[in-house]
A = this chain, B = another copy of it.
Amino acid sequence: MEGITSEALILAASAIGAGLAMIAGIGAGIGQGYAAGKGAESVGRQPEAQGDIVRTMLLGAAVAETTGIYGLIIALVLLFVNPLLGML
């Protein structure tokens, strides 16, 4: 691998790190899906409370999204900003 530079090693590892960071999204997918199911069930029981139920479901789902967003941000930083290169 004589032709491979230090920069290339860091960028290659960044590609893998970005992929790993996205795995965080498993959580929001499961959790928000659970909320969707419970929301649908609750709307079926009290259709007259639909507005409040859906608002609460969406509020809770927004909270559950954050760590997926964190993962996305780290991946974007690795792919588009890559502060590591500057530390060489």
Contact = CB atoms under 8 A, between A and B. Distances in A.
> Is the contact region of chain A dominated by helix, strand, or loop, or is it mixed?
helix
Number of copies: 9
A61 B60 contact: yes
Interface of A: 1-47, 49-50, 52-54, 56-61, 63-68, 70-72, 74-80, 82-85, 87-88
Contact of A32 (B17, B58, B64, B80): B64
Contacts of A22: 20-21, 23-24, 67, 70-71, 74
Interface pairs A-B: 3 shortest CB-CB: A31-B33, A27-B29, A36-B60
A64 B25 CA distance: 10
A41 B46 CA distance: 9
